Amino acid sequence: MDETRIEQNKQTYLSICRQLINREGIENLLAYLEEKTDFFTAPSSSKFHLNEPGGLCLHSLNVFHLAQKLHAQVVDTIEDETLKEKAQKITAENIAISALFHDLCKTNLYKPVERYKKDNAGRWVTYPGYELDDQLPIGHGEKSCLIVHRFMKLYKEELLAIRWHMGMFDMGEQSAPMRSSFYKALDQSPLTAIIHAADFLTSNCLEVTTTY
C-alpha cells in the first residue's frame, strides 16, 4: 500500500469517527492514535491478512463497513419482536466505536525487521517482515478496551463487542468459564455477534495476504 492510499484511509477513518462518534474524549483518543501510535501505518497482522503498511487502519474500515451492512440485514430479517428490538437498539455510534477501535491492541505491536529467504535460484535474498513486540501483554480484545477506556467511556454493548470480537479464536475462550462468558455476551447484545462476524469475514474473505 503506497503512502497516498495510507493517507486517504487515515482521513476517511478520522472523518467517520468525527461524523458518527459524539462522545466526550473522542478527540483525545484520535490525537493519541495520530501522535503516540503507529495505527495508521501499522500492518493488520505479521503474516496473514493485510500484512503491509497501513493494513491496520484499512482492516478497521473494512470491519466497520461490513458491520453496518450486517446490522441492516439483521434488523430487516428478524421476525421475533423481542430479538428485533434488541438489534434495533444498536446505534450507528455503537457500530463505529466497536468496529473502528476493536483492534487498537495492535498499535505499537509490530516491529519492522529484515528477513531472509532463498529465491528460485537458491540464493539468499532479503524481504521486509514484522515481529511482535508486545509491551503490554494483557490479552487481545481486553487490551483494546483498556486503550479506548483511557480516553473515552465505553458502553456495555461496546465493551462486549470489542472484548469478544475474536470469538472462538481467542485462546482464552478454550476454557469452560470463558466459553460461558462469550455465550452470555452474545445473548446480551447482538452487537457482539455482528462485530465478530464482520471481523472474521473481512480478514478471511476480503483481505489479501502479501507474499514477499
pLDDT tens-digit readout, 187-200: 999 999 999 999 99
pLDDT tens-digit readout, 115-133: 877 778 778 888 778 999 9
Give the mean model confidence (pLDDT) for residues 162-183.
81
Q: Is the pLDDT reported for residue 168 higher than 80?
A: no
* Reported pTM: 0.92
CB neighbourhood size of 10 (10 A): 19
> Lowest mean pLDDT: which of 56-60, 91-95, 128-132, 192-196?
128-132
Q: Is the pLDDT reported for residue 13 higher than 90?
A: yes
Q: What pLDDT, on the 0 to 100 scale, is given for residue 88?
A: 93
